[in-house]
């Protein structure tokens, strides 16, 4: 079988690959980046039988030959007409669309699987896909999302815990309470918005809530600085034409964090983000050198005084 997974929703593409490869040992999964590896090496691997099992998986990322700008298609066309039935070959491309006029794209669409991942998945749709095969009502799904949050990374981790410990296929609210952790995460982006937009009372309220759940002022400073830095770096790399996946690879962070950073940072100028980052760095130095009190320094920062 051959799959072509394309789109801007990297998290959903990663989830689909996990689903396709869940029954395979890592020894039988090969991964290539086509910006670094020649397509001939990938096809040669796909054509070769596995030494360790009857079947194997070959993943080829950044398959831009399926877009209008790509080339080197003849070797792929030959393989698509004579595939190795013991190999699952998965092409991925971080692009909003592929060129469906190309012969290789037409062959995959006609004979194999061409799947788009452009639409942002709703949390409930994501849960339904993750729990496919389980009996779970809409109200229980809503309860799960309300309990753990809508972040797909957190949702996936909590769902995996349910799957690991659930003996039958029916999931109840009691199961969710027993098997998952309630999300205590403060919305860091809301705090950032309040800081930049000078919503002082709201910023202080979130800060005091963070203190109530045990967060330390220094940790909050680091958390804010980390997020301002990611928003700034992602914004600057995007200006240079980097895709979300390229940014994630360059900064070595999960693509979902980059997606959020770009979405939330869009309304702020790069200079604004950088100025706040430098201010937080100076506050951190002042606290660590004993020049200021950590609580007072952070409150003054939030009050912009």
- The alpha carbon of 98 is separated from its chain's Cα centroid by a whole number of angstroms, namely 21
Q: What is the pLDDT of residue 211?
A: 79
Helix (H, G, I), strand (E, B) or coil at 74: helix
For range 245-260, the mean pLDDT? 84
217-239 and 255-265 are packed helices; what angle lies between their axes, rounded to 10 degrees?
80
Return contacts of 290-294, CB within 8 angstroms, 24+ apart.
Answer: 294/216, 294/217, 294/218
- pLDDT(213) > 70: no
Percent pLDDT > 90 in the chain is 33
Domains of the chain: 2-116 (3.40.50.300), 123-179 (1.10.8), 188-303 (1.20.272.10)
Query: Measured in whole angstroms, how far is the alpha carbon of residue 209 from the centre of its chain?
Result: 27
Residue 186 has pLDDT above 60, yes or no: no
Task: Report whether pLDDT(172) > 90.
Answer: yes
At residue 58, the pLDDT reads 95
CB 93 within 8 A of CB 67: yes
pLDDT digits (tens, 9 = 90+) for 103-137: 999 999 999 999 988 766 678 888 888 898 899 99
């Amino acid at each position: 079988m051959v799959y072509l997974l394309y789109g801007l929703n990297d998290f959903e593409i990663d989830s689909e690959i996990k689903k396709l490869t869940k029954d395979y040992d890592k020894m039988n999964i090969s991964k290539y980046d086509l910006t670094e590896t020649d397509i001939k090496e990938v096809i040669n691997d796909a054509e070769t039988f596995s030494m360790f099992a009857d079947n194997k998986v070959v993943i080829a990322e950044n398959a831009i030959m399926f877009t209008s700008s790509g080339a080197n298609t003849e070797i792929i066309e030959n393989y698509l007409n004579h595939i190795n039935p013991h190999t699952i070959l998965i092409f991925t491309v971080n692009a909003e669309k592929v060129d469906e006029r190309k012969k290789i794209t037409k062959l995959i669409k006609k004979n194999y699987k061409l799947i788009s991942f452009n639409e942002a998945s709703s949390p409930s749709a994501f849960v339904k896909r993750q729990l496919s095969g389980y009996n779970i009502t809409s109200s229980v799904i809503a309860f799960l999302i309300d309990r753990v949050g809508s972040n797909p990374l957190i949702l996936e981790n909590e769902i995996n815990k349910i799957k690991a410990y659930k003996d039958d296929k029916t999931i109840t609210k009691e199961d969710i309470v027993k098997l998952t952790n309630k999300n205590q995460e403060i919305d860091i982006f809301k705090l950032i918005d309040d800081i930049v937009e000078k919503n002082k009372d709201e910023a202080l309220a979130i800060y005091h809530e963070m203190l109530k759940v045990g967060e330390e002022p220094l940790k909050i400073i680091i958390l804010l600085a980390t997020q301002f830095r990611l928003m700034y770096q992602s914004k600057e790399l995007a200006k240079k034409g980097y895709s979300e996946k390229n940014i994630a690879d360059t900064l070595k962070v999960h693509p979902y964090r980059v997606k959020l950073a770009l979405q939330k940072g869009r309304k702020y100028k790069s200079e604004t983000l950088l100025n706040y980052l430098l201010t937080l760095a100076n506050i951190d130095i002042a606290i660590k050198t004993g020049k200021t009190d950590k609580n007072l320094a952070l409150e003054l920062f939030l009050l912009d005084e």
